[in-house]
Every structure is written in structure tokens, then in C-alpha cells.
Amino acid sequence: MAYDATKMADWEISEAAEKHMKSIWQLQEELGLEKDEIMPYGRIGKLDFLKIIDRFKDRPDGKYIEVTAITPTPLGEGKTTTSMGLIEGLGKRGKNVGGCIRQPSGGPTMNIKGSAAGGGNAQAIPLTEFSMGLTGDINDIMNAHNLAMVALTARMQHEFNYSDDILASKNLKRLDIDPRNVEFRWVIDFCAQALRNIIIGIGGKMDGFMMESHFAIAVSSELMAILSIVRDLPDLRERLGKIIVAYDKKGNPVTTADLEVDGAMCAWMRNTINPTLLQTVEGQPVMVHAGPFANIAVGQSSIIGDRIGLKLFDYHVTESGFGCDIGFEKFWNVKCRFSGLKPNVSVLTATIRALKMHGGGPKVVPGRPLDPAYTEQNLELLEKGIVNLLHHINIVKQSGVKPVVCINSFHTDTQEEIDLVKRYAEQAGARCAVSQHWLKGGEGALELADAVTDAANEEVDFKFLYPLEMPLRERVDVIAKNVYGADGVSWTPEAEAKAKKFESDPAFRDFATMMVKTHLSLSHDPNLKGAPKGWILPIRDVLVYAGAKFLCPVAGTISLMPGTASDPAFRRIDVDTKTGKVTGLF
């Protein structure tokens, strides 16, 4: 049954649907899993990846469906809602379907955007567990990451205070860490702008080494990036020892293995390789694995989750963060390269309101009512903004993947507006479907399900945008011109020096290129909407994630620690003290 999404908040729909929710053991039977392949956590559970992938290794893969979007408004355009709706729609068509989505960060959940469970009748349940810690993966990543910082800062203090003889008596070799060249920073899973730049070690010599330090949001951690792309536990263990935390005074890297903390980090993260199993409002299985923030991280649900889903489901739905220029580009050129998997379809989520914004509509501000331009028919504004949709269709087509445009329909959309978008999308060579999954669940997503099924049955000539042999600066130029639409790339002297160093070192030549850029524009400037022309992409730094094997060129002024707004979601979240249930999540 579909709940009245026009009158019920997401948490109310989740609470109502939870009364009819399948037990973890019912899902286990429906998926054909053994009881020892499920690790229960209250009403939900983890899947034992190693056991499942070994038992199903000879089963053919199902269809691989990726969900992405146009450049979003600050409100988001409903990729997870579309993912859940598509799964429900395929379920209504009798398909064996499931998916894998990303675990929400506590930062957005307690800030403006809210949770990432989807919405209305197209969401993952139970919402409270999903939104508030789930089975502890982000907490384990945070502990493992901060343990590396503890190891680093403690070692710096001891090397500063003790002679070589005393260090040798403790079986320690002097690493001679340069305090001005520390790569790592602390992490916390909230949007805490006050922690972006800090001084640590204030006090006496027993209070640590005094230096400038920083915080980032937990899901931007290299450890989350590693979890997204590892194939198994041995792969995780090996990568955790290669993380560069700092450099010594000669410029040589200091790794987690040098600090002898990598084994303990793996101990914290040992259970994170197992995806968590939830379900849609309509009872289809949905895994949750890895994290969000494709603008500052990889932003993909995990390779492990996709490997399981392709064995268990005939149709497996995965999602990529933000727009095609960020999430899909990383899915295409990084995730698929690491996994060896080839997608059958990419669903490009679009909304009428976002296209109007790209046509020059009034600024969209989270927490404020939408301008009437977004809720009343305006074909001229809409037509001007469709250029953004067409640009994203072209991005997907460059990969050889079949694009299916999903118009994530709002009740304020008019038929004339929908027809206009469909006409342009189909002229550009994409299928286009209107979906009302938020309002009607699976019944509202049947047109989308049929379009995806048709596209999935066609052959795909999948190809990467660039070869791994291409030098870093050339790759960035190719991405900037072919994906973002830039005229070229400019490098600060510091960033170019780093790039040249990485290009000359054979150890970095097979590293993936993981762009760091705003999600609110195809460009580096969030204020440039539509499909900007005549601009240059500025690269100001290159981060190195040696464990994940990523080189991360940083465009513009993007921060690894978002800020909390003046009217955050936590003001409306509470607990019903009679039932113990959480209220106000969205």
C-alpha cells in the first residue's frame, strides 16, 4: 500500500511501514541465503560478504543499473528516492530486484539535507537505524582514522622529547616527521566548521606536540574511500598499511605501516566489509555500504555491495553521488575500472525545479520556501535550463552506457513542462520516463521500470574516458573538457609541482584520478548554473590517498569539512519518551 506522502513526514511513513516490515530471517529465506550468512543487529543485519560471494561465485551476474542525476539544487534531486522507486517499480513488475545505497553521514542528517533514505513511498526502512549509526561502519572508520592521528601525534611528541637512545630502548626508530607537512587530519561525523583549523598540543611537554591541525567530515576519510573500492579483507588490510599520514623532513612519506598502527586500524574496520541489509517501504532488499559526498570523496556505494547484488538479483541498482559530472564520472572511470564490472543502464534523475534553476530561476536556499517560479508553469525558464540535462546525457553517452532520464515528478509539475523535457531528452538519444514514486511507490514507477528493463536488454559498448597510462595533468584536462565543458585547466605553482612529482614517480602511475569539485555547478564555481561556457578549471592542490590509490586534484575553494547552517534539522529531531521512537527525521 502507498501512504499519503502529501500529509505524512518521511519518518511517519517509515514508522507506519515498519509495522509490516519483513524480518531479517524472512529476507534471508527470500534471498536464498543460509542462516550463518546473516549477522543480525536488532531488526536489521549484516551480510557475511566472504561466505556469500564464495557460495554464489559461479552464478551469472544480473543487470547492473546505476543511478545518477543532473546538477542538483542545494535541496538535492532525489537519486536515492529514484533508486528506491525503481526497485519498487521493478518489484511490481515481478522482477528479482535489489540494490545498494550509501550510508548517510551524521553531518547532513543533523543539518539541512536530512537523511539519505529516499523519501515518501520510495525510501529505505527502518529510517531511524539507517539515519543514526546503522551497524557502526562510520563509527569504526572514524575510530580507525583517528587512531592513526593518535599514533602520529604521539610519535611526534615522543621524538621531540626523547633522545635516539631512549627511543631505541622502546624499540622505536626516529621517523623525523615534518610538522609542516602532515597530510592527515582528524575526522568527526558532523558539519563542524569551527574545527576546520585548530591548534593542538597546547600545554606542557606531556600534553602532546603543539602544531596546527585540522578536522574533516568522517565520510571524506581515505578509509571510507578504501572501503568503497576494496574487494575483500586481505585487500583492505594491505591498503590500510599504505596510507600516507605525513612526510619526514627529507620529503619521504610516513605511512600507517611506519607508525605500526595499520593492523589495529584493520581490527577496528574488520566488520565494515560486510554490507548492512535493509528493505524498501514495499519490502524489496536494499544493502547499505560505504558513504556519501562525491564532491570530496568517491561517493559510491561499494564494489563489495555491487558484487553481492549482481549475484543475488536479476536487476541490481547502485547509486553515485551528486550529478553525472562528479558521481557518474567517478563510477565510470574509477569504480568500474577497479571492479571490472560494466553497467547496463544509467538512470539520470532530473526535476523540473532544478532545470528551472539552471535556466536562471531565483536562488534556491535550503530552509526557505521555494519561489513561485518553481511551483508555477514557466516553459521559457525550463527550456533555458534543459541545457544542463542535455550536457549530462552527453556525459553518460560518452561511456557507451544507455541513459534513461527519470523525471522525478512533483505535484506542481504541469503536463506541458513534462512533455517539453521528454521531447528534448528523446531528441538527445535518451529514453525518458516520468515517475511518481515519491507519491505512489512502485505503482508510480512502472513507466521508469519498463524503460530501464528495455534499456538493460540492449548491448553496451562500455569504454573509459582515458587510459591509465595517461599522465595526471592530461587526465585532468580530458575530464575538464569532456565532462565539465571547460576550455582548459590552470594549475597553481604548488599544485603543478605536486602533479609533476607524481607523474615522474612510477609508484603513482596507476593511481586513479579522483576529482574534488563543487557539486552545485558543472564548473568549479557553485554560482555558475546551466552549462557554463568560456571558463578555465583552476586546480589549487593535489591530495594523495596512497592506500586507496587515488590522486585527488582539488578545484576551487571546496572544504573537506562542511558547515552547519543556521536552521539545522537537529532542531526538529526528538524522542517520544513514551515509546522511545525518534521523531522528526527526514
Active site residues: 79, 81, 102, 113, 294, 322, 410, 438
Residue 469: how many other CB atoms lie within 10 Å: 8
The three-state secondary structure class of 67 is: strand
Side chain identity at residue 318, one-letter code: T
The three-state secondary structure class of 412 is: coil
CB 138 within 8 A of CB 106: yes
CB 583 within 8 A of CB 573: yes
Question: Maximum Cα–Cα distance for the chain, whole Å?
Answer: 80
d(CA 414, CA 376): 8
Q: Specify the pairing of strand 431-435 against strand 402-408.
A: parallel
CB 43 within 8 A of CB 21: yes
Using alpha carbons, select from 467, 463, 352, 465 the residue that is nearest to residue 414. 352
CB 306 within 8 A of CB 271: no
d(CA 345, CA 301): 16
Using alpha carbons, select from 9, 73, 85 the residue that is nearest to residue 435. 85
d(CA 495, CA 383): 39
Residue 337: how many other CB atoms lie within 10 Å: 15
Please tell me the chain's helix, strand, coil percentages from 3-state DSSP, rounded to the nearest 5: 40, 20, 40
Residue 262: how many other CB atoms lie within 10 Å: 24
Q: What is the DSSP letter of 516?
A: B
Cα-to-chain-centroid distance, residue 412: 29
d(CA 369, CA 398): 37
Residue 147: how many other CB atoms lie within 10 Å: 18
Q: Which spans in 470-579 are helix H?
A: 472-479, 493-504
Element (H, E) at 246: strand 244-248
CB 148 within 8 A of CB 35: no
CB 106 within 8 A of CB 189: yes
**Phi, psi (5° rounding) for residue 69?**
-160, 170
CB 480 within 8 A of CB 486: yes
CB 410 within 8 A of CB 351: yes
Could you check whether the bond before residue 126 is cis, i.e. omega within 30 degrees of 0? yes
d(CA 419, CA 568): 36
Q: Which residues contact 95 (CB under 8 A, 6 or more apart)?
A: 314, 315, 449, 453
